Amino acid sequence: MSSLKQNLDRAWSQVQAGWNNLVSKASNALTHFRHRQEDESDEQSRALLRSSPEWALLAAEVHESADEVTVRLEIPGMNPDDLDVEVIDRTLVVRGQKQVSHARKEGRYHITECAYGSFERRLPLPAEVDPGQARASYEKGILTLELPKSERERVRRISIAKG
């Protein structure tokens, strides 16, 4: 019996450690989706929207080099036209509207884990960037932004003359 208790304690400890790791690494990626029933035209779409979660993970990577900041944001199921991107001070703001999309007209859903509605994700940037020179692409559900640093943030190497 003692061995069973030790095994259960160890398993529970591993579950807690995994959960704490997930929360610490991904809590900022948790994004709220606002549902608006009037955005959907048919009853099946409205029903799917009602049963879909209001929170989803929009995972990001922010990488800084000497001359630019690169951001990759996972936003599956969108079209580039559904996204609005801007830089406010040193924060990247990505807004969007994920529409209900389903091919089935008959039957009913048993699992609805996809989030729909409007969302906003804010990402702090490690440096001041020049949004006028930014490049953006969206492919396979990944929004990639290449944000050149502002002139005053760029690393300048100073060469030393030999005397």
Q: Where are the domains of the chain?
A: 29-153
pTM over the 0.85 mark:
no
pLDDT at 42 over 90: no
Place of tokens 């990626």: 29
- Nearest alpha-carbon partner for 99 in 139, 52, 137, 30: 52
Q: 120-153: per-residue pLDDT in tens? A: 999 999 999 999 999 999 999 999 999 999 987 6
> How far is 56 from 33, CA to CA, in rounded Å?
7
Q: What is the pLDDT of residue 99?
A: 85
Q: Confirm if 125 and 69 have CB atoms less than 8 A apart.
A: yes
- Token output for 54: 């209001």
Q: 62-115: per-residue pLDDT in tens? A: 999 999 999 999 999 999 999 999 999 899 999 999 988 765 667 777 888 889
Give the C-alpha distances (Å, rounded to integers) separating 156 from 64, 67, 68, 147, 163.
15, 10, 13, 18, 22
What CATH code is assigned to 29-153? 2.60.40.790
